Amino acid sequence: LEVPFAELVIHRIEEEGIDIQEPVNQAVVKRFSDELDHERILTADQLAQDQDMGVQQKVAGALVQQHVLSPNWSQRHKIYPMVERDQLISLLEDSLRRMHLTDLREASREVSSKLEAGELSVEEERDLLAQKVQLAREVQATLKHFGTVILP
């Protein structure tokens, strides 16, 4: 299932009941949410032309790269500095992995509670134990990305 990143973020913000403190950020989230209700996704250009000057400034600040090296420099020296876009992508990926980790832990708790409840057939118990092992492996793999490993 492929879901646009904006839709995933808005869904999680609404689902988790996350409060956005800054009014400009509230306006941006509301605009994205309203557009998603109509099955449309806002573009940076649309936000840059927003009637709210604060939203325009926020978008302009996010889109402007302050320091740019000439492409020739990168090709000649084979050094490719991390640019703001790379940092943002890394932050987004880390955020998604943390949300995935939260989902994995919740699923693991649900499996554990089913196992603790008892009154399961041998086959159901075997399936739940296999699920629990698989979830534990996925949690460890996700934590490994962050350089954190929790031993059993």
Could you tell me the residue ranges of all domains in the chain? 1-64, 70-147
Alpha-carbon distance 142 to 144, whole Å? 5
Please count the helices (runs of H) and the strands (runs of E) in the chain. 7, 0
Spell out a b/e string for 128-145, using b for 16 or more CB atoms within 10 Å of the CB, else e. Answer: beebbeebeebbeebeee
> pTM to 2 decimals?
0.47
Alpha-carbon distance 35 to 42, whole Å? 7
In this prediction, the residues of the chain whose per-residue pLDDT falls under 70 are 1-3, 63-71, 73-74, 78-85, 148-152
